[in-house]
Structure 1
Amino acid sequence: MRNYQKSLKTFILFSFLSLLISCSAQEPIPVKAITAHEIEKDLTFLSSDDLNGRKTGTEGIEKAAEFIEERFKKLDLPAYFENYRDDFKIDEIDGFNMVAVLEGNDENLKNEFILIGAHYDHIGSSKPVEGDSIANGANDNAAGTVGVLQLAEVLANSQSNKRSIIFALFSGEEMGLRGSQHLAARLKSENLDLYTMLNLEMIGVPMKAKDYEAYVTGFENSNLAEKFNEYSNDKKILGFLPQAKQLNLFKRSDNYPFYEQLNIPAQTISTFDFSNYNYYHHVDDEIQFMDPEHMAKLLNDLVPGIQKMANTSAKEITLNE
């Protein structure tokens, strides 16, 4: 009888621990919140004059790439390829994406991937204003780059993802989506099982008079926004912006090559709504006009939806027919 009771206690304890582990996997909790202070530090460097507008093929974008590489190393995120740089050519210009991966913790689902990306290049210079010709690109797209790096930190510290997550920063976007086109083709050639792609673009300032935090391009192409909001405890995080459809923004950012080449839900998340920021491709696109508090709130609100995407057993986010 004593052995039976001991065995029963062991069974109950094992079942309880298994339940805890299962619940933890279903509802992962970030290690720490993303802060406005950390966002501001990253934005300050990436949009500084020292980077001279981060044009692809210049010393400025090289400095940005080194910054990104050091961050990936600090987070112990391995390179997806043989190193962090995914090289390509634009005529005689050398371009490179920066690509790291967080392996999933489920033996089966880790072979399915989510890609979170943004372009880290900008245009270099623009029409001078009061002697300043450096187009710093704080909102376009240091903000999106910082978003990817901050999400990478939360998710890497959490280690709660069943699916694997690729973090990709693209160059050559301003030259015609060249970096994302190259990476999408390379992943397709490897027959990568890419579930979905989220692209962060111009998230540095909040939207005006909207009942959602950010919009997704190609809203009607998939159920991404609907499922993402459901995953976020029914908060309305993502919504529809009519201007995005009118201007066909779905095809004008780094999400599109992944949709076009891999036929998956691949959409851009943005808060630039054409009424809340006057400095698109302008030399005044600088750090002082960014809103780190807004960015911190948005990024923290994106985390639960991303975690749920990474952990649901079925691929619930699908293209609409």
Structure 2
Amino acid sequence: MRHLISTSVAVALIFALCAGCGSPPASSTPARLIAAQSVAPLLPVAAMTAASPDEYEVELGADPDFLRAQLASGSADVAVLPTEAAAALYNGGLDIVMLGALDLSLLHVVGPANSSLDGLSEIAVAFPGDTADHVSQAVFEAQGLSIEFSYETTMPDVLAGLASGASNAAVLPEHFASLAVAQSSGSLAVIADLRDEWEAATKTAATPQIAIVASTEYFDSHRDTVDSISSLLEDSFGDDQIDGGTLAELAALADVDRDLASAATARLDAVYLSDAEARDATSAYLAALIDLNSDIAGGRLPDDGFYAS
């Protein structure tokens, strides 16, 4: 099993104070940090705010358009968003730098218990054109599956369709996949992990679906802070279960109960990638997507300026 979020952030913070890495140094102005209100993008946010609660001003959005608008307007210093969305914004002229990426099992297909992908004829997806849509279409096309997509405008609409039977199956990110299964009284199950399916279909070794980016202005003027953010995230994603303080922070930020946050985190099985590892994995991930859909990420790989190192 791949690494999960690790050890006590308190221990990491003590180590940071002694060894010079870990939580960001104190600043008179908190960094403006934005993310979607879902467990997966909030994993790094929870680690950061649990370690240094006064260093970040967090704003959460309900959909990807919010994140794009905040970055484009200069209203955010650091953001957590889908990797291809970050690449598209950069290729479109937005001055951002990717600090690192999360390689994780973000997307799952939820359908009738004991069913399989090759038995599906239709599937529901939220937010056309975003990660769930891109990755699932790439996987299904690579596997030669003919599955019709239906789109909803919100994640609650997708969940409601599954609960009512209006939708037979759906592509859901965590924590929504775990929530749908938990609420189904055994009638629904995760029938495919799209990380496994993606890596098998594209012959890639990682699925870095979530990017942590900073505005170029913030990156250039706060190098100590952004370097220590990456150090903290590297320390926070290790061999052990997420610690109690960070799990509590994650549940509060995502507005879910602790048991659901814990289940979703275990299923996500996240690894933080930085430096050359992040660059190589992200380039391979985006190249595979672009090969299947030339509209993704603006149709080209980001140049070297997209990466912190």
Q: Which range, TM-score by smaller chain? A: under 0.3
Identify the structure with the greater helix proportion.
Answer: 2
TM score, norm. by length of structure 2: 0.27
Comparing both structures, which one devotes a greater share of its residues to strand? 2
**Larger C-alpha radius of gyration, 1 or 2?**
1
* Structure 1 length-normalised TM: 0.26
